[in-house]
Amino acid sequence: MPPTYVIVMALYTALTAYILYLVISNMTRSKDVWEQIMAVFVIVPLFMRLIFIK
Amino acid sequence: MNANRKTSAYLILAACLVLTVILCVSYIPMWKYDLIVPGPGVTKVAWLSDYVPELKGSLADTRVFILEGQEPGANILVLSGHHADEPGGWMSGMVLVENAKVRTGKLVVIPQANNSGFTHNYPQEAHAQFINIPLSDGSKRRYRHGSRTGNSAEHWPDPEVFIQYPSGQKLSGDEVRNLNRAYPGRLNGTFTERIAYGIQMVVRKEGIDLQMDMPEAQPEYPFVNAASAHPAAEELVSLASLGMQTHDLDLGVELSPATFRGLSNREMGDAVPGLFAVTMETPNTEQGKIRGITDDLLAVEGQDAFYVAAAKLGNLFVPYDEGGWPLKRRVGRHLTSFMELALALQDVTGKPFEISNVPDYYDLVANDVGHYLNPVTDNEKVSDPGYQSYPGIWRLFSKAGS
């Protein structure tokens, strides 16, 4: 049985993947290019977290 | 129109991927353990996981250097690198490992106590990822310059409020990754509590008499150039303070408050009977909140014009002139404090501890830190584990696995 913090971290990783999916799908639907550019500030950190870099 | 927006979305997404790759290339080298060249006094290089096998393969694992004398005597543990953005502390541990020779007693050094903190930077501080120390042979040694807290990629999410174990004291959420709030630790606790537990096992299994911790603080912080001691170590630290005056160095002394929990000196002193636990602090300009340009030189040279102005206005708790507080002065203070504490330990307990080859404050100021780091070439004792362990899912690909 892994420690509790590892289980919680796994659950949050799944949540991060879902939020990343929502952000990217909204970005591709957006008609405002500035809104799309601003998404970079969300996508890059979430992606870094999803792959356990930072 | 929509088709164009789709195109821009995919272009921006591609840019995100490129940015992510660039950031990965920048951060991943911080997972690599720093190269250390143990001196002739090191008799054994162990790992924290040798004391607590559950830490093997994780970023919690860190090197434990043992310098054992020929005769038994007092046993001292030097803990540095609780906070990886306090190089005066962890560099003091490195200098001890690379130079000290113990004749009587045992010295245990954990130079990078929170290795996880060395694998990333503290957000919004603009600290350098690496610092370079020039050696006397003309080469340079590169060290990771990390964060006050452990890597959030290894240990997340932070809670809104961190409830310290076992006191139940409430601290800010990100302190859950601060090793110096995690003592005495527990095996089934958070990632950081497991590291603290590992260090507690080192103290118990090595029969440590004196535990000395070497952090740093902002020059505007009231507790700096000072020692904080567990009440059991009051006499010992008072003697060390007197001893520091023989070197013309001031050392403020205070007892670790019973209402501030999780600190190494307070919790370990409470948890381990007979242990003297002390924390020393030196001033570190790059941690200060009124500093100017923040780069790798600031960590080493410790000079900042804003702090000179602040000192003139009487706003600091340490003297601060154009020379600042370079690494050599901070390491010199820590090592002189260490020697005085070792002397005081003999006076208080009667247990002998003989050590040589430890540079003092004036040696460091005259020769600089690089003079006391061993050259890498042709040295068989080099400890260079490289990429030993990784955070999160990457741990599956580490050498040790988990």
pLDDT at B2 over 80: no
Residue B276, phi then psi, degrees to nearest 5? -95, 125
Predicted-complex ipTM score: 0.93
B389 touches chain A (CB under 8 A): no
Q: Do A27 and B9 touch (CB under 8 A)?
A: yes
What pLDDT, on a 0 to 100 scale, did the predictor assign at position B400? 56
Distance from first CA to last CA of chain A, Å, rounded?
26
B25 touches chain A (CB under 8 A): no
Chain A residues in contact with B390 (beta carbon < 8 A): 52
Task: Bin B262: left if φ > 0, else alpha if -120 < ψ < 50, else beta.
Answer: left
pLDDT band at B388 (very low <50, low <70, confident <90, very high): confident
B196-250 tens-digit pLDDT: 999 999 999 999 999 999 999 999 999 999 999 999 999 999 999 999 999 999 9
What pLDDT sits at residue B377? 76
Helix (H, G, I), strand (E, B) or coil at B374: coil
Does B402 contact chain A (CB < 8 Å)?
no
Q: How open is the CA angle B180-B129-B39, to the nearest 5 degrees?
A: 70
Give contacts of B120 with chain A, Cβ < 8 Å.
Answer: 54
Q: Provide the mean pLDDT of chain B.
A: 94
Write out pLDDT tens, residues B77-103.
Answer: 999 999 999 999 999 999 999 999 999
Kindly state the helix (H) or strand (E) to which residue B131 belongs, with its residue range. strand B130-134
pLDDT band at B402 (very low <50, low <70, confident <90, very high): very low
- Report the SS3 class of residue B227: strand
Dist. CA B250–CA B227, nearest whole Å? 10
CB-based contact B24 A9, cutoff 8 Å: no
Segment B366-378 shows an average pLDDT of: 91
Give the model's pLDDT for residue B81.
97
Taking only the tens place, the pLDDT of each residue in A40-52 is: 999 999 999 999 8
Chain B CB contacts of A28 under 8 Å are 6, 9-10, 13
The helix (run of H) or strand (run of E) holding residue B210 is strand B210-213
Region B2-14: what's the mean pLDDT?
85
Residue B399 has pLDDT above 70, yes or no: no
When mean pLDDT is compared across B4-8, B44-48, B198-202, the lowest value belongs to: B4-8
Residue B246 contacts by C-beta under 8 Å, 6 or more apart in sequence? Answer: none
How far away is chain A from the Cα of B121, in angstroms, using its nearest Cα? 9
Q: Is the pLDDT at B3 greater than 70, yes or no?
A: no
